[in-house]
Structure 1
Amino acid sequence: MAIAVLGTGVLLVSSCDKKFTEINPLNNLKEENAFSTAKNIDLTLNGMYWHAGVGYYNPGTGLVAGRGYPFGGASIEQGEMRGEDMVNLQAFYEITYLGNYTVTTANNVNHWEQLYQLINQANVIVDGLNGAVQKGVITKAIADPYEGEALFVRALAHHELLIHYSRPYADNNGSNMGIPYRTKGVTNGTLANEGLSVDRGTVASCYALLLSDLDKAETLLPNSQSNAALSISRATKGAAIALKTRIKLHMGDYPGVIDEGKKLGTDATNGSFTSAIGGYKLEANPVTPFVNFKANTESIFSVAQSLNSNGGVNGAITSMFSPSGLDGRDLIATSPNLYNASFWLSGDRRKTDLQYRQSVGTRQFVYNKKYTRYGINDDWNPILRYAEVLLNVAEAYAYQGNTAQALALLNAVRNRSVPAGAEFTQAPSDLKLAIYQERRIEFTGEGKRWSDVHRLALNSQYGTGGIPAKVRPAQLTGGLSIYDGSTILTPSYGAIAYSDHRFVWPLPTSEMDANPTLRAQQNPNY
């Protein structure tokens, strides 16, 4: 039985004060009770978000534990390890880093299975809400925002699958194989055929379904939740719109990106950007969204974690990204090739305040310092920030020839961090390149590098042409001394060309064994 298809969607958690931001999983409600009361329905939504951040991990030994799939620390780290801006130091994600994955390797298999488990939970919620309304358990007015949350999560999860298991939209205008876009919940009381009958479709057809889900979610979701923390940790109207700017950027739909961005205030002409929906604006200090992760004006959607509910020492984002000198695990370091890049200025606050130079132990390198709840492991996983919306729209304006607005959006993100006098007073000679470089700095440690590598792979001017060449840990022989602002290492692990089958991950054996529909739709050469 493939977990990806058949896992029950009713995983529920309870909380002493009914706030997901302080979740403490105590029990699983029975499927038949999940939609029997308004309280249980709210718990069902909490369970969906809990699974997004904690999930489980099956290493193939029969042991199962929370490990930060599909949108916890594991997801964020994999997004970095598929790129070149961080260096894998240990065996934890070496398979992902070196591209040695197979149909049974745990990192990619668990990602697939957990994303579809999450999708199934979202689908069960949509179905259950309809039944609850029909039975008079809740009104449609109460059900609608819940449905919007489920649709948002469903779209987010399907897109994550697309960037790992399918070719980018730019390849033949989305005509390659997509991923099964599942919209019907499979529970213990329904037939497996509900999920097994869905084939991969095309990338283009999947993107159309993504936008359909998000368009509907936008109409159903509120501008904000009941408090600041819930407005970040649960989906809102602004989150649906922000995700659409990302989706349309992957499609190369620049007018569409601009139109969605306008809803969030990116068309302001005074260089000061604030969204009427959600009240989003950049924090003056780039550190604030990570220190005040439960209440800030910049975070649009994050996956919450708590002391009692996180991916554990092996999967919480804090321990995975942090150095041993700060009670972390020394798993991944910032690559000196990014840290020393000429476009990352020495006085940039993201370098001085969000990077950590470890001078103790055996791995004296530079590490990401966005997640600082050391030993507590309750840092939230940032999924959508207003900074991304601004840079998404800046890129779209640049491609549409509106240099002034593109520069204004870029400067809004960049100028709060760079030293005084280093601001762009006019557009750099290659504005698009400057925007791409800014993304690498602004989002390092947030798992977004692979997303950009994937969508730009076929861009002859700005793309990498495949999986970039990477620095091996053995090359960091100089320790901290190589983070000198000038050293650029020649990566000893070569690039993997876009044409190579390893650019995309294989569908796992667990799916192939249980799903006759997908057996003939495996990615080539796996």
Structure 2
Amino acid sequence: MKEINIKSAKHWMRRAIYLALPFGLALSSCDENKLLNPIPNIQLQDAFLFDTPERVLGQVNGIYTSMKDGSLYGGRYLMLADIRGEDFINRTQNVFTGYDAWSHTVTSGSNDASSGWGSSYTAINAANLIIDGLAAYPTAVSETLAAQYLAEAKFVRAFCYFGLVTRYGQPYTKDKGASAGVPLRLKGETTPANNDMARSTVAEVYAQILKDLDEAEAGLPLTYTTALLNTTRAHKNTAIAFKTRVYLTMGDYAKVVTEAKKIVSEAAPFSAPTGVKNQLQANVATPFMTDYTTTESIFSMPMTVLNIVAGQNSLAYTYNLNLEYNLNASGILGDPTWPATDARKTNFTRVAGGVTYLKKYNQTNPALDYVPLLRYAEVLLNYSEAAAKTGDLAKSVALLKAVRNRSDAAYVFPDASISTADALVKTIWIERRIELLGEGLRSNDLLRNLLTIPAKGSGGLSAPAVAPTQPEYIFPIPNAELSTNKLI
């Protein structure tokens, strides 16, 4: 795991200095000298990072910063997950904006294989270092804060492992997780000494994800003091919402229902009864174009003028500025059940040069759109699908209508599309493609249902269909890991 190998003592000392600098104005000249000329000793480095509550908080903030990396949840991870599906057409053959992923030609040497792997493990290692540090320095912060920070680190670790196992491991539903997954690293590393590690099974990785999420739910606060923090840091509802995605991916529909009921009221209008009052906004455009911190946005990566993801990792750049991909006229854009009157079509698409583009990420210079990682609309659709799968068609339809009619109040689902469980599930899958377009969920929806990734193409560029039995169905382990991990 090359990216973790570089986390040497010297690197972590530099990082410690960086995180401490905002608080340096109050330091004496003696303290300043210590900062600028640190002793390169790992034990002293650990003590330095955990010797004040402010520095511990800096480490916690750092795990979210690691998640926000442009090659991870700051942009590229979502983009690669969507363009593998059938709803986007590549225009540039640019390998730096996902052409290999779009065309299903990812190899162990491809940038698309290596970028997400390395940045995921970097974020996981940052979370592990906090978990280890809080145990080693139990008086660094109050018991209450320690429990919260530990929960936040476990949430981030679970989120990143889910991204890894769903990209580089076979779907859990294929064989109940018996296939090889990814190395399960649960200790913080500052040297390459423990780099050799075999892959855990998919089931083992999921078990750890759920363990982390259950413990995170127990330790996370119900709410923070501002809407910004409620959107950008994990709280109880964040962990619960994410569990609905994890259980849905595993095909454990009863567990999806159990978790969803914690944050979805019994009747419409649906909202979370405890903690942050997560709910849909009246206007679907609000969370994307007006206010990134509404209660619909359960968890997002924030952007500011001085702290953005720019260039080829930016979703706004890829979809709406450099126009690397247009929406496929034969994909969800052309589905007859998505009429032109739907607010998602009028707000989130635009036509230029005779083709249609996604403009859900609308701020291009600078790219200030928050990156949505969990929205309440997804929770309702996760719950809707699970309810249909477990026989509660009435609840499933009510949840489905809450999402659809928010954007198209006049739309009426044909009876044939919702009258049976099978028909209803397929209708929900279509709704997911419309509602969550460009939010990084299409690949996982195809794979968790063991569906063939459809062929697509236009203008001379094409990509073949990929069946669940083909090696291209998942990403290969990157060369950086193969060359440095003898047990992989």
Task: Tell me the equivalent position of 2:26.
Answer: none
Q: CA deviation at 1:261?
A: 0.4
Task: Tell me the equivalent position of 2:193.
Answer: 192
Q: CA deviation at 1:201?
A: 1.7
Mean CA deviation greater in 166-175 or 309-318: 309-318
Aligned amino acid, residue 481 of structure 2: E
Q: CA deviation at 1:314?
A: 2.1
Task: Tell me the equivalent position of 2:425.
Answer: 432
Superposed CA offset, 1:176-206 (max 9, x none): 1111121100024xx622x42x321211111
Contact 2:131/2:153, CA 8 A, preserved across alignment: yes
How many residues align? The count is 458
Task: Tell me the equivalent position of 2:31.
Answer: none
Provide structure 2 residue ranges, at least 5 long, that are not aligned to the other structure: 24-34, 39-44
Q: CA deviation at 1:427?
A: 6.4
Q: CA deviation at 1:294?
A: 3.4
Task: Tell me the equivalent position of 2:434.
Answer: 441
TM-score (norm 2): 0.88
Q: CA deviation at 1:6?
A: 5.7
Task: Tell me the equivalent position of 1:124.
Answer: 129
SS in 1 for 2:439: coil
Give distance in 1, aligned partners of 2:292 and 2:274: 20
Q: CA deviation at 1:76?
A: 1.3
- Out of 375, 389, 394, which is 1:399 matched to? 389
- Out of 79, 82, 85, which is 1:83 matched to? 85
2:342 corresponds to 1:351: no
2:423 corresponds to 1:453: no
Task: Tell me the equivalent position of 2:263.
Answer: 264
Q: CA deviation at 1:132?
A: 2.7
- Out of 75, 91, 103, which is 2:108 matched to? 103
- Mapping of 1:383-394 within 5 angstroms? 383-394=373-384
Aligned amino acid, residue 149 of structure 2: Y
Give distance in 2, aligned partners of 1:17 and 1:442: 40
Q: CA deviation at 1:400?
A: 0.7
Q: Flag the 1:421–1:209 CA change in 2: closer, same or farther, 3 A.
A: closer
Give distance in 1, aligned partners of 2:221 and 2:467: 44
Q: Flag the 1:34–1:452 CA change in 2: closer, same or farther, 3 A.
A: same
Q: Flag the 1:299–1:226 CA change in 2: closer, same or farther, 3 A.
A: same
Contact 1:72/1:303, CA 8 A, preserved across alignment: yes
Q: Flag the 1:416–1:517 CA change in 2: closer, same or farther, 3 A.
A: same
Mean CA deviation greater in 268-277 or 247-256: 268-277
2:470 corresponds to 1:500: yes
Q: CA deviation at 1:505?
A: 1.1
2:294 corresponds to 1:308: no
Contact 2:56/2:140, CA 8 A, preserved across alignment: no
Give distance in 1, aligned partners of 2:90 and 2:273: 38
Q: CA deviation at 1:419?
A: 4.5
2:156 corresponds to 1:162: no
Contact 1:407/1:427, CA 8 A, preserved across alignment: no
Give distance in 2, aligned partners of 1:48 and 1:503: 30
Q: Flag the 1:185–1:16 CA change in 2: closer, same or farther, 3 A.
A: closer
Aligned amino acid, residue 116 of structure 2: H
Aligned amino acid, residue 472 of structure 1: S
SS in 2 for 1:174: coil
Task: Tell me the equivalent position of 1:46.
Answer: 61
Give distance in 2, aligned partners of 1:411 and 1:505: 35
- Mapping of 1:116-515 within 5 angstroms? 116-133=121-138, 136-188=139-191, 192-193=193-194, 195-196=195-196, 198-266=197-265, 268-270=266-268, 272-322=270-320, 328-337=321-330, 338-359=332-353, 364-422=354-412, 428-429=418-419, 430-457=423-450, 464-465=451-452, 467-474=453-460, 492-515=462-485
Task: Tell me the equivalent position of 2:30.
Answer: none
Give distance in 2, aligned partners of 1:437 and 1:223: 33
Aligned amino acid, residue 336 of structure 2: S
Q: CA deviation at 1:14?
A: 5.5
Task: Tell me the equivalent position of 1:481.
Answer: none
Q: Flag the 1:34–1:206 CA change in 2: closer, same or farther, 3 A.
A: same
Over the matched positions of the two proteins, sequence identity in percent amounts to 33
SS in 1 for 2:339: coil
Contact 1:5/1:117, CA 8 A, preserved across alignment: no
Task: Tell me the equivalent position of 1:2.
Answer: 2
Task: Tell me the equivalent position of 1:93.
Answer: 98
Contact 1:123/1:184, CA 8 A, preserved across alignment: yes
Contact 2:271/2:277, CA 8 A, preserved across alignment: no
Give distance in 2, aligned partners of 1:29 and 1:393: 54
- For the aligned residue pairs, the C-alpha RMSD in angstroms reads 2.4
Task: Tell me the equivalent position of 2:28.
Answer: none
Mean CA deviation greater in 172-181 or 391-400: 172-181
Contact 1:372/1:379, CA 8 A, preserved across alignment: yes
Give distance in 2, aligned partners of 1:496 and 1:421: 34
Give distance in 1, aligned partners of 2:113 and 2:37: 29
Give distance in 2, aligned partners of 1:425 and 1:284: 26
Structure 1 runs (4+) greater than 6 angstroms displaced: 15-18, 27-30, 424-427
More helix by share: 2
Q: Flag the 1:184–1:455 CA change in 2: closer, same or farther, 3 A.
A: same
TM-score (norm 1): 0.82
Give distance in 1, aligned partners of 2:106 and 2:218: 40
Give distance in 1, aligned partners of 2:86 and 2:273: 33
Q: Flag the 1:437–1:421 CA change in 2: closer, same or farther, 3 A.
A: closer
Mean CA deviation greater in 212-221 or 78-87: 78-87
Q: Flag the 1:342–1:144 CA change in 2: closer, same or farther, 3 A.
A: same
Q: Flag the 1:294–1:38 CA change in 2: closer, same or farther, 3 A.
A: farther
Aligned amino acid, residue 243 of structure 2: K
Aligned amino acid, residue 493 of structure 1: A
SS in 1 for 2:457: coil
Give distance in 1, aligned partners of 2:270 and 2:231: 22
Q: Flag the 1:495–1:440 CA change in 2: closer, same or farther, 3 A.
A: same
SS in 1 for 2:311: coil
Q: CA deviation at 1:421?
A: 4.8
Q: Flag the 1:273–1:108 CA change in 2: closer, same or farther, 3 A.
A: same
